[in-house]
Amino acid sequence: MPSGDSLFPYAELQVEDRLDLRQVKMDDAVELFAAVDANREYLREWLPWLDRTNNVDDETSFIASTLEEYERGDGVLYGIRLEGNLIGTISLNWIDRVNRGCGVGYWLAEDQTGNGYATKSCIRLMEHCFDDLKLHRFVLEAATDNFPSRTIAENLGMRLEGITKDREWLYDHYVDAALYAITAPEWRARVQD
C-alpha cells in the first residue's frame, strides 16, 4: 500500500477526454441530489438507498459519511463527470487492506447509459486500484437480474465466483447477487493480450 497521508493520493482520475472521476465533496451536494432525484425511479430498480435520500440535507449527510470513510482509508466516492457535469457516481464501497481487495459500486443517470461510461469508469478505477494503490483483487456485485451491470463485469473479464442468496434488501424483497472478481495479474494479462 502506498505510504503518506492518504490511501487515495488522487482526488481526480481522467478516464478519457471529456470524462473524468472527481472525488465528491460537500459542495457537490446540491448537484448530486439533483442527479439522484431526476433519476429516482430509474435508480430504484437496483439501488436500495433512494428512500433515505429525500433532500439536499440527506445528500450532505451521505457525503459526510463518505468523506469519513475516505479519511479512514475505507472507501472513496467519485462523481462521474462528462464535460464537467455530474452524470453518476462510482465508488470503492469497501477496502480490505489486509488482503488488498476492494469492492466497486456505481450508477449513471438514465440518459447517459449505453455510452460505455460505466465500463470506462470501472476500467479507470480498476487501473488506479491495481497500479497506484497496489490492491490485488477488485470485486463487483450485482443483483442476478441486473443484466447491464453483469454485462459490464463480464466485458471487463471478471470471473463469476458465485451467487449470494438474499444478498440485499431492496425495499420490500431480497435480491440474490452475482459476485464477480478479477485480480491484478489477471487484469494485466488481459490488457496485454
Low-confidence ranges of the chain (pLDDT < 70): 1-10
List, in order, residues 6 or more apart from 171 with CB less than 8 Å away. 44, 48, 51
Q: Please provide residue 144's backbone torsions phi and psi, each rounded to the nearest 5 degrees.
A: -60, -30
Domains and CATH numbers, the chain: 12-192 (3.40.630.30)
* pTM score of the predicted model: 0.92
Q: Which grid coordinates are listed for 191?
A: 490488457
CA distance 138 to 24: 21
Q: pLDDT tens, 12-66?
A: 999 999 999 999 999 999 999 999 999 999 999 999 999 999 999 999 999 999 9
